[in-house]
Amino acid sequence: MVREYPVKVICSYGFDPMNLLRRGGTRLNATDVRREALSAALRQGRLKPVFQPIFTVVGELLGFEALTRFSNGCPPNLVWQAAEELNLVDRLEHLALTLAVQAAKDLPGKLFLNISAQHLDQAESLAQFGHPERIVWEVTETAVRTRAGRAGVAWLKGQQYVLAMDDAGAGWSTRYRLQWLRPAIVKLDYSIVRAFCGGQNDALLAWVEAAQQVGARVLAEGVEDRAWINRLEKAGVEWVQGFALGRPEPVTVWRGSLA
């Protein structure tokens, strides 16, 4: 992800914000599209949570991760950038978490929620979103770069919340910070999962080993082929998530399929 936000980014590949909307024959520029989506979310609540299932490697449902989409189709990372520019991240973050938790109330299993590093400055406010037996908080390693972030992580752990380190292996993430964060779960980024299943083993195996050294369990994101699961299991992965197992869908879809 470009940065960590309360609900994970769903990228629309090939998206051209310049051509997304036309009003009265006038093309909206990228800033207009981002801010239109932000305004609709904050003023009208037009933000749609969707949920992607997470399974054990033997096919048992663990729970769902909450993601978000905006009403005009603008990729969420662009909307969050606009919120940051306008100092509206806190408002949008609270709304996104609230809607996700409300929508997921009837879904079984754990509910994985992404939170920003800055939200950890107010970690006590996160308790309103659910019981530690239900919620798994996903953070990236940037959460432990500041004293406030480390204090927030410590508070959540003290309340018995499960923490998952997100995007492990992506960008500049380092296994060294696992020693600081010591999460219960390490979520391997799709990039190293795909590389591993394509024969490039070193990165994924190193992260699995590092996770096990701090007592964390491993979840592989971005699983695009069920044939990958057996190989991932042999490498030490316990849980899997990706399009091969279920795309992000509104809660109504999952409620119907699980009935």
What pLDDT does 229 receive? Answer: 98
Instruction: Give the whole-angstrom CA distance, residue 203 versus residue 130.
Output: 34
- pLDDT surpasses 60 at 162: yes
What pLDDT does 259 receive? Answer: 62
* Tens-place pLDDT, residues 8-64: 433 333 334 334 333 444 445 667 889 999 999 999 999 999 999 999 999 999 999
What pLDDT does 26 receive? Answer: 42
- pLDDT surpasses 80 at 94: yes
CATH 3.90.230.10, applies to 19-258: no
Residue found by looking up tokens 């999952």 in the block: 254
Query: Mind spelling out the 3-state secondary structure of 58-127?
Result: CCCEEEEEEEEEECCCCCHHHHHHHHHHCCCHHHHHHHHHHHHHHHCCCCCCEEEEECCCHHHHHHHHHH
What pLDDT does 175 receive? Answer: 84
| Residues 195 and 203: beta-carbon distance below 8 Å | yes
Residue found by looking up tokens 């933000």 in the block: 47
Residue 118 pLDDT grade (very low, low, confident, very high; cuts 50, 70, 90): confident
* Tens-place pLDDT, residues 102-114: 999 999 999 999 9
> Residue 102: how many CA atoms within 13 Å on its side-chain side?
9
Scanning the chain, the segments in alpha helix (DSSP H) are 30-44, 76-85, 89-103, 147-158, 178-181, 190-197, 202-213, 228-235, 251-258
What pLDDT does 1 receive? Answer: 38
- pLDDT surpasses 60 at 5: no
What pLDDT does 30 receive? Answer: 66
* Tens-place pLDDT, residues 215-247: 999 999 999 999 999 999 999 999 999 999 999
Instruction: Give the whole-angstrom CA distance, residue 107 versus residue 121.
Output: 29
| Residues 140 and 163: beta-carbon distance below 8 Å | no
Residue found by looking up tokens 């090939």 in the block: 14
| Per-residue exposure over 16-27, b if at least 16 CB sit within 10 Å of its own CB, e if not | ebeebbeeeeee
Per the prediction, the chain carries an average pLDDT of 86
Q: Over range 55-75, report the average pLDDT.
A: 94
For the chain, percent of residues with pLDDT exceeding 90: 65
Residue 76 pLDDT grade (very low, low, confident, very high; cuts 50, 70, 90): confident
Domain residue ranges of the chain, discontinuous segments joined by +: 19-258
What pLDDT does 97 receive? Answer: 95
Closest CA to 40 of 70, 80, 8: 70
* Tens-place pLDDT, residues 171-221: 777 788 788 889 999 999 999 999 999 999 999 999 999 999 999 999 999
Bridge partners of 87, per DSSP, are none
What pLDDT does 105 receive? Answer: 95
Task: Copy the structure tokens of residue 2.
Answer: 């470009």
What pLDDT does 11 receive? Answer: 36
Q: Which residues contact 39 (CB under 8 A, 6 or more apart)?
A: none
Cβ of 217: how many Cβ atoms within 10 Å? 16
Cβ of 4: how many Cβ atoms within 10 Å? 23
